[in-house]
């Protein structure tokens, strides 16, 4: 027959354990990821005596944790979205800050440069104005170089962070594997010995930390063991086997890293499959914000250089020579992909208006060269080698020694920002004047006038040859003496355009007279001429980019707007997902968190039960004493 | 519903954090005066701000251009006023000279003043602006455009400028001419006495700009009103003589000789009221053609006037005729000056209109910029005090909630 003493003892032990669970809860009130534990108290199996059944006291059957699997999974998912949004918004903000700095931004420099251009136009013979224009252009190019240095820093940082995060992922996965292994520990009798709530909590914390870095899928296996997958189902942890992620240089572009996976089945580049967590944010920031912005600023640099150089070449300098380039910049960067056996590709920018902000890849397929842009447009050179003009770039493709599949990456505007510099150092070389001027003979008897003239082809070898337009008698036609090829007996009409030697002029007037003469000659000595400077000044408000739809400043504003929208969206996204994350955390805390008042109540409850059980033992002792004394 | 102790703390901390972020943002907006501290605050407004600032910068540049253009035009106007004064004085002298009461002595005295005014006029034609550029030289404004030269006996002015005219950008679509064409102003004085030389240099010989020294003889030739005058001076190398041929028969038969003599380099050749001079060493038979033109230059008018005054060989009638023509030519020159001054006046009007347009534009743009960018202080400060109140409330609630725990009652 069960006796009071035994029953009291089970009660004492039960409440001792219950109290220790409660105190464990209190001790872990601030432990991250801790799930409060409960002692499940059961009655011991009864003893049957004849037709009577006696209870045998109580015991703690198990320690359970207050846990909700769904909430834990939601917490991981929300954590992954939040980290992506937060890291992305932080990264995007760095560019946001670079572009919009009122002192460091590009916009004021462009305004100042064109103000300097106007000052030269106002007084073209002034060496001071010309020097100022060159100096301010230097400031502009330095600003661009600084921009690119900051972009480069951001890129290097991004690459370093990608490597760090991949390393952290690998060590977290190892930690999870170790817990998986521990959970399977058994004693000699084959009974699991370490199925502890605390271990499970610890593993959930690691999983949440892993979710911070990359989006994962968790699958529960037997005996509380889990497997972890990323991307399109690549296993990072398969029960007891951990697989690693790695980084390596992109074979098509040595300036960046790709994420590699080495598992049992899948191998290779999985960068595109990672979208969430810090890693997703880093990759998406690099490809979706940093590269397009760098390329756009690069294109702006190319645009400034190409348009101003072209106009400068159309003019004449103080020495009476045709103008030369004002800016220089580094030609498109071409990466020879690892594994190429031969071939060569060079690229040059030939049309700024058609230039995009894309990068390109050219692949030799045995007979031709398809060239594809990052936005998906493509063109093909239908020959083994030759030139292909595509989107404002001329690709010189050469298959010498190339095997099928050899490919090249072309980044047209990447180097322009950093390399833009002013090559014109002599202020006299600033081509403020137009190369030609026109003159009406004082001897003319008719009323025909000649326009100041316009250069249409500065490369014409005879551009600066003195040409005389002389009316014949009767003055119905005229000869263009000095034109190459010769133009004689040209019929005259009012307001007609005469073109020769790379220029064009307009003759207006109703009554020419025989012998009337007009001269078109080199503008050497025309140091007061500002016509070319006015044309350079007009470039500021000329629509240049994207097929002639955007000015320099509008294009720059587009860059700012793009980054600002990305940043703003990321900030909104991160605020929203933070709210969601906090909500999920609170829901989890509602279920699993420790409430000190609750524990205090439990403490009182279990203590009272403990005292009562102790009383039972005391009663048992009293009964025993009574018995002993009665027999004395 | 259950709540865990940590939740109370987390919620409190989160509330403080959010509120403090809001307050910090407001503080930044108030202390910097701009609500667009970074583009992501408002991407659309940021792009607009960049574009507007560029437009404002552009307009401010135009305003500077306008003020420089205005200075330049005012300088030109002043110079033209000075030239007008010179011409006015010469006109008075011409009227004074055109009187039979004058003796040769008094004509000589007038001639001396004409010479003074002539030098003054050349100096005005070579006016330099504050940048050191010659005002009436066209594009070639770094070298003096009007220089005094003499070819043989003929004193005249050589022009080395051009017809180039500088424009200044005063709005995106508008340029204003800030140059006066010196060639038009000084060299294109319409006159019946205009003479053209087809080629000034032939076979190393140079012919001077010919001048009518006796307009009575020149204009009164037999067929002057029906055919235009044209003369060919043939110089015979072997004989060392010249012969002037009337090409159009303005004075007698077509091809008839109107003058002949021995060629002496640098000496005057005179025929039909025209005087010219040829310099250089004779190397071969050489011909020059002089034909009737439309224009004289203003310096030629003055030179001719002075010559007439000093020329004692001319009769009173001949002189009177010359003086009459001088007056007419001076009026013609006044016409050129007036044209130039009218043009300047028109340009100044354009500049004024452009300036007020531009200023209005900048003002409007600044309003928009301020709306897009500047902090509304009243709103920001009242928002700040609201946010502070909320923060204080949250702190108060937090401290009250966390003050009591059941453990306090367990003794």
Q: How far is B61 from chain A (nearest CA, A)?
A: 6
Query: pLDDT per residue over A22-40, tens digit each?
Result: 999 999 998 888 999 999 9
| Chain B residues with CB-CB distance to A433 below 8 A | 139
- Looking at the complex, does the CB of residue B405 fall below 8 Å from at least one CB of chain A? yes
Nearest CA to B211 out of B342, B133, B325, B47 is that of B325
Q: How far is Cα B259 from Cα B243, in angstroms, rounded to an integer?
A: 6
Window B:31-90, CB contacts with A under 8 Å: 38-44, 46-48, 50-51, 53-54, 57-58, 61, 64-65, 68-69
Low-confidence ranges of chain A (pLDDT < 50): 1
Nearest by CB to residue A443, choosing from B50, B131, B196, is B196
- Label residue B304 by pLDDT band (50, 70, 90): very high
Q: How far is B41 from chain A (nearest CA, A)?
A: 7
Nearest CA to B319 out of B90, B115, B156, B104 is that of B104
**Distance between start and end Cα atoms, chain B:** 28
Q: How far is CA A628 from CA A106, A618, B142, in A?
A: 103, 15, 139
Q: Is the pLDDT of residue B174 over 60?
A: yes
Q: What is the pLDDT of residue A266?
A: 60
Nearest CA to A118 out of B355, B64, B142, B180 is that of B64
Query: pLDDT per residue over B332-379, tens digit each?
Result: 999 999 999 999 999 999 999 999 999 999 999 999 999 888 989 999
Dihedral sign, Cα of residue A103, residue A105, residue A108, residue A113:
positive
Task: Supply the ipTM of this predicted assembly.
Answer: 0.85
Q: What is the pLDDT of residue B11?
A: 86
Number of H helices, E strands in chain A: 12, 30
State whether residue A223 is helix, strand or coil.
Answer: helix
Measured at the CA of A331, the angle between CA A325 and CA A335, to 5 degrees, comes to 175
Q: What is the mean pLDDT of residues B186-194?
A: 92
Contact B65 A122 (CB under 8 A): yes
Window A:528-547, CB contacts with B under 8 Å: 528-531, 534, 537-538, 540-541
Nearest by CB to residue B162, choosing from A36, A526, A541, is A526
Q: What is the DSSP string of A90-136?
A: HHHHHHHHHHH-TTTSSHHHHHHHHHHHHHHHHSTT-HHHHHHHHHH
Number of H helices, E strands in chain B: 8, 16
| Chain A residues with CB-CB distance to B197 below 8 A | 443
Nearest by CB to residue B6, choosing from A440, A565, A589, is A589
Question: For the packed helices A127-183 and A107-122, what is the interaxial angle rounded to 10 degrees?
Answer: 170
Nearest-CA residue of chain B relative to A320?
B140
| Chain A residues with CB-CB distance to B139 below 8 A | 433, 437, 523, 525-529
- Looking at the complex, does the CB of residue A449 fall below 8 Å from at least one CB of chain B? no
Q: Which residues contact A111 (CB under 8 A, 6 or more apart)?
A: A553, B53, B54, B57, B58, B61
Q: How far is Cα A440 from Cα A458, in angstroms, rounded to an integer?
A: 23
Measured at the CA of B398, the angle between CA B392 and CA B403, to 5 degrees, comes to 130
Q: Is the pLDDT of residue B315 over 60?
A: yes
| Chain B residues with CB-CB distance to A568 below 8 A | 40-43
Window A:568-597, CB contacts with B under 8 Å: 568, 571, 582, 585-586, 589-597
> How many angstroms from the chain centroid is the CA of residue A36?
42
Contact B4 A433 (CB under 8 A): no
Average pLDDT over chain A, rounded to whole? 91
Q: pTM of the entire structure?
A: 0.86
Nearest by CB to residue B169, choosing from A108, A110, A534, is A534
| Chain B residues with CB-CB distance to A466 below 8 A | none
Q: Output the six-digit token pair for A602.
A: 């439990």
Q: How far is CA A464 from CA A437, A438, A449, in A?
A: 10, 12, 21
Q: What is the pLDDT of residue A103?
A: 64
- Label residue B277 by pLDDT band (50, 70, 90): very high
Q: Output the six-digit token pair for B134.
A: 């010659």
Contact A118 B139 (CB under 8 A): no
Nearest-CA residue of chain B relative to A89?
B40
Query: pLDDT per residue over B46-63, tens digit each?
Result: 888 888 888 898 899 999
Measured at the CA of B31, the angle between CA B26 and CA B37, to 5 degrees, comes to 65
Contact A433 B198 (CB under 8 A): no
Strand intervals (E) in B113-184: 146-151, 154-159, 167-171, 174-177
Is residue A449 within 8 A of residue A478, CB to CB? The reply is no
Dihedral sign, Cα of residue A433, residue A437, residue A442, residue A448:
negative
Is residue A91 within 8 A of residue A293, CB to CB? The reply is no
For A486, left (φ over 0), alpha (ψ -120 to 50), or beta? Answer: beta
Q: How far is Cα B99 from Cα B118, in angstroms, rounded to an integer?
A: 22
Rg (CA), chain A: 41
| Chain B residues with CB-CB distance to A597 below 8 A | 5, 405-406
Q: What is the pLDDT of residue A1?
A: 43
State whether residue A547 is helix, strand or coil.
Answer: helix
Contact B183 A442 (CB under 8 A): yes
Query: pLDDT per residue over A390-406, tens digit each?
Result: 999 999 999 998 899 89
- Looking at the complex, does the CB of residue A555 fall below 8 Å from at least one CB of chain B? no
Q: From the CB of residue A471, how many other CB atoms can be counted at a distance below 10 Å?
A: 23
DSSP A446: S
Q: Which of A86, A128, A442, A570 to mutate to test the interface with B (most CBs of B within 10 A)?
A: A442
Nearest CA to B187 out of B160, B212, B224 is that of B160
Q: Output the six-digit token pair for A297.
A: 């600023």
Q: What is the pLDDT of residue A338?
A: 85
What residue has token string 């070298």? B143
What phi and psi values does residue A580 have, to the nearest 5 degrees?
-65, -40
């Amino acid at each position: 027959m069960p006796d009071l003493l035994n029953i009291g003892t089970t009660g004492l032990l039960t409440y001792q354990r219950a109290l220790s669970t409660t105190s464990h809860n209190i001790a872990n009130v601030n432990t991250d990821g801790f799930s409060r534990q409960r002692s499940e108290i059961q009655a011991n199996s009864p003893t049957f005596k004849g037709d009577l059944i006696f209870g045998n006291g109580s015991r703690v059957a198990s320690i359970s944790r207050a846990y909700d699997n769904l909430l834990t999974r939601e917490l991981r998912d929300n954590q992954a979205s939040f980290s992506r949004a937060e890291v992305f918004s932080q990264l995007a903000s760095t560019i946001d800050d670079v572009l919009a700095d009122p002192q460091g931004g590009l916009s004021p420099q462009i305004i100042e440069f064109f103000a300097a251009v106007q000052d030269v136009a106002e007084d073209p013979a002034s060496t001071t104005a010309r020097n100022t224009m060159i100096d301010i252009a230097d400031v502009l190019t330095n600003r661009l170089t600084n921009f690119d240095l900051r972009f480069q820093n951001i890129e290097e940082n991004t690459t370093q962070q990608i490597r760090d995060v991949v390393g952290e992922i690998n060590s977290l996965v190892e930690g999870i594997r170790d817990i998986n292994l521990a959970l399977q520990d058994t004693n000699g009798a084959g009974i699991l010995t370490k199925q502890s709530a605390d271990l499970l909590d610890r593993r959930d914390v690691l999983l949440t930390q892993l979710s911070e870095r990359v989006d994962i899928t968790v699958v529960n296996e037997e005996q509380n063991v889990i497997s972890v997958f990323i991307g399109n189902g690549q296993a990072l942890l398969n029960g007891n086997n951990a697989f690693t992620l790695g980084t390596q240089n992109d074979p098509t572009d040595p300036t960046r890293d790709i994420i590699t996976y080495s598992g049992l089945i899948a191998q290779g580049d999985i960068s595109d499959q990672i979208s969430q967590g810090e890693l997703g944010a880093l990759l998406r920031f690099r490809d979706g914000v940093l590269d397009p912005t760098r390329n756009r600023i690069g294109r702006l640099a190319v645009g400034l250089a190409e348009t101003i150089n072209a106009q400068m070449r159309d003019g004449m300098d103080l020495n009476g020579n045709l103008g030369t380039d004002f800016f220089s910049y580094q030609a498109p960067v071409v990466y020879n992909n690892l594994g190429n056996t031969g071939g060569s590709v060079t690229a040059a920018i030939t049309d700024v208006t058609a230039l995009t902000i894309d990068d390109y890849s050219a692949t030799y397929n045995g007979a031709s060269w398809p060239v594809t842009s990052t936005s998906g447009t493509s063109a093909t050179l239908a020959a083994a080698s030759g030139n292909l003009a595509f989107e404002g770039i001329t690709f010189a493709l050469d298959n010498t020694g190339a095997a099928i599949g050899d490919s090249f990456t072309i980044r047209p505007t990447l180097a322009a920002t950093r390399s833009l510099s002013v090559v014109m150092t002599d202020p006299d070389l600033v081509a403020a004047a137009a190369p030609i001027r026109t003159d009406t003979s004082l001897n003319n008897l008719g009323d025909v006038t000649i326009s100041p003239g316009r250069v249409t082809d500065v490369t014409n070898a005879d551009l600066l040859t003195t040409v005389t337009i002389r009316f014949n008698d009767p003055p119905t036609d005229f000869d263009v003496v000095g034109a190459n090829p010769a133009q004689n007996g040209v019929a005259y009409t009012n307001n007609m355009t005469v073109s020769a030697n790379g220029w064009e002029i307009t003759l207006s007037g109703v009554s020419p007279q025989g012998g009337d003469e007009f001269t078109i000659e080199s503008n050497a000595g025309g140091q007061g001429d500002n016509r070319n400077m006015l044309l350079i000044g007009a470039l500021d408000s000329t629509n240049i980019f994207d097929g002639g739809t955007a000015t320099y400043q509008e294009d720059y504003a587009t860059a700012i707007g793009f980054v600002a929208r990305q940043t703003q969206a990321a900030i909104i996204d991160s605020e929203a997902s933070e709210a969601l994350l906090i909500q999920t955390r609170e829901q989890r805390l509602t279920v699993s968190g420790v409430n000190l008042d609750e524990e205090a109540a439990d403490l009182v409850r279990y203590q009272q039960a403990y005292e009562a059980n102790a009383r039972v033992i005391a009663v048992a002792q009293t009964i025993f004493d009574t018995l002993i004394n009665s027999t004395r | 519903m259950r709540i865990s102790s940590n939740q109370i703390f987390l919620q409190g901390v989160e509330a403080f954090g959010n509120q403090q972020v809001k307050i910090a943002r407001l503080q930044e907006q108030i202390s910097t005066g701009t609500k667009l501290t970074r583009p992501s605050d408002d991407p659309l407004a940021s792009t607009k701000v960049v574009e507007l600032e560029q437009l404002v910068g552009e307009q401010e540049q135009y305003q500077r251009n306008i003020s420089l253009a205005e200075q330049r035009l005012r300088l030109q106007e002043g110079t033209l006023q000075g030239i007008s004064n010179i011409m006015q004085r010469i006109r008075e002298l011409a009227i004074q000279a055109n009187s039979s009461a004058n003796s040769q002595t008094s004509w000589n005295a007038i001639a001396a003043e004409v010479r003074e005014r002539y030098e003054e006029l050349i100096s005005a034609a070579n006016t330099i602006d504050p940048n050191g550029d010659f005002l009436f030289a066209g594009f070639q404004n770094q070298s003096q455009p009007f220089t005094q030269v003499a070819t043989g006996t003929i004193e005249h002015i050589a022009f080395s400028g051009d017809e180039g005219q500088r424009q200044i950008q005063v709005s995106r679509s508008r340029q204003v001419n800030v140059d006066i064409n010196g060639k038009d102003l000084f060299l294109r004085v319409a006159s019946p006495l205009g003479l053209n030389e087809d080629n000034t240099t032939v076979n190393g010989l140079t012919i001077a700009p010919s001048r009518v020294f006796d307009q009575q003889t020149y204009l009164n030739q037999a067929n002057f009103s029906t055919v235009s005058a044209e003369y060919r001076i043939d110089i015979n190398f072997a004989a060392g003589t010249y012969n002037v041929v009337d090409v159009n028969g303005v004075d007698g038969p077509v091809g008839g000789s109107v003058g002949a003599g021995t060629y002496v380099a640098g000496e005057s050749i005179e025929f039909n009221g025209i005087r010219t001079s040829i310099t250089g060493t004779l190397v071969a038979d050489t011909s020059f053609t002089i034909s009737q033109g439309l224009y004289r230059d203003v310096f030629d008018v003055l030179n001719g006037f002075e010559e007439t005054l000093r020329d004692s060989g001319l009769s009173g009638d001949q002189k009177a005729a010359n003086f009459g023509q001088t007056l007419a030519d001076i009026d013609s020159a006044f016409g050129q000056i007036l044209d130039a001054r009218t043009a300047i006046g028109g340009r100044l009007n354009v500049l004024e209109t452009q300036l007020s347009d531009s200023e209005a534009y900048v003002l409007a743009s600044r309003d928009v910029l301020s709306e897009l960018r500047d902090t509304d202080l009243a709103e920001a400060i009242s928002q700040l005090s609201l946010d502070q109140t909320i923060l204080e409330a949250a702190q108060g609630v937090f401290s009250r909630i966390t003050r009591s725990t059941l453990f306090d009652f367990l003794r």
